[in-house]
Amino acid sequence: AQTVTQSQPEMSVQEAETVTLSCTYDTSESNYYLFWYKQPPSRQMILVIRQEAYKQQNATENRFSVNFQKAAKSFSLKISDSQLGDTAMYFCAFMKHVYAGNNRKLIWGLGTSLAVNP
Amino acid sequence: EPEVTQTPSHQVTQMGQEVILRCVPISNHLYFYWYRQILGQKVEFLVSFYNNEISEKSEIFDDQFSVERPDGSNFTLKIRSTKLEDSAMYFCASSENETNEKLFFGSGTQLSVL
């Protein structure tokens, strides 16, 4: 069975600085997806970034980037130039590779609450 | 930008009562899901739905739960006889097709069972 672990329940960062959120996972699958979702006070789960395990290049979306270490089963999220609007709960999640007939079931970490301070 | 909408945002019910949580997935999406998040615990998969039938369900999704797509737009989760431990945030999600791994989530329904 797959598991996702986020070891930092809470973090804080000053506006404009950089912060890294940690995530480790366990799986015997060789091909899979990893995600970071953001849950602001509005409660909606918003996809921040995703990584396909067979791609060696780390995914990047504007100020958000990941450090994907497949051998170490580590998937950290770096937020550069933090903004007040980045204050939210951040969830790391795992999904087996998608193919016809497979289900897109996400396995979630417990989340990290990030506060961006002015 | 299209989004998944859920109603109501909050639902309070008495133990033993039936509740129906409603979701409108993104219109061209084919896969639908329910997840729940009990306070302080991990988000948990409940059920996935495709082509008008359940694709997969978790151990949590017992006979007290059912899902339905009554028309071309709504996707509902029914809990027949609510228990205290059903209190949670329930999220609906949808994805586009069988090769797309991106799930789009609604804002959730906070269910409180008293």
User: Is residue A103 scored above 70 in pLDDT?
Assistant: no
Check residue A31 and give its pLDDT: 87
Q: What is the chain B residue with the closest CA to A100?
A: B98
Predicted confidence at residue A56, as pLDDT, reads 85
Work out whether strand B10-13 and strand B109-113 pair parallel, antiparallel, or are unpaired.
parallel
Rounded-to-integer distance, Cα B65 and Cα B61, Å? 6
CB contact under 8 A, B48 and A103: yes
pLDDT tens per residue across span B63-102: 999 999 988 789 999 999 999 999 999 999 999 876 778 8
User: Is the separation of the CB atoms in A47 and B103 below 8 Å?
Assistant: yes
Q: What pLDDT is recorded for position A11?
A: 97
Smallest CA–CA distance, residue B41 to chain A, in Å, is 6
Token duo for residue B61:
């999704």
A48 touches chain B (CB under 8 A): no
Do the beta carbons of residue B111 and residue B11 sit within 8 Å? Answer: yes
Q: Is the pLDDT of residue A58 over 80?
A: yes
Pick from A46, A91, A106: which is nearest to B45 by CB? Answer: A106
Eight-class DSSP state of A102: -
The predicted-structure confidence for B28-46, as pLDDT tens digits, reads as follows: 899 999 999 998 899 999 9
Are B44 and A95 inside 8 Å of each other by CB? no
Backbone angles phi, psi at A86, to 5 degrees: -80, -10
Please say whether the beta carbons of B23 and B92 come within 8 A: yes
Q: Tell how far CA B68 is from the center of its chain.
A: 10
CB–CB contact B98 A101 (8 Å) = yes
Question: What is the identity of the amino acid at B26?
Answer: I
Residue of chain A with shortest Cα separation from B54: A103
Tokens 């609007």 -> residue? A85
Q: Kindly tell me if the per-residue pLDDT of A30 is higher than 90.
A: no
Using an 8 Å Cβ cutoff, are B54 and B47 in contact?
Answer: yes
Evaluate if residue A64 carries a pLDDT over 80: yes
B45 touches chain A (CB under 8 A): yes
For residue A99, the model assigns a pLDDT of 67
Q: How far is B43 from chain A (nearest CA, A)?
A: 6
**Per-chain mean pLDDT for chain B:** 93
Q: Of A12-21, A69-78, B48-57, which gets the smallest average pLDDT?
A: B48-57
What is the percent of chain A with per-residue pLDDT over 70, rounded to a whole number? 95
Query: A31 vs A49, which has greater pLDDT?
Result: A49
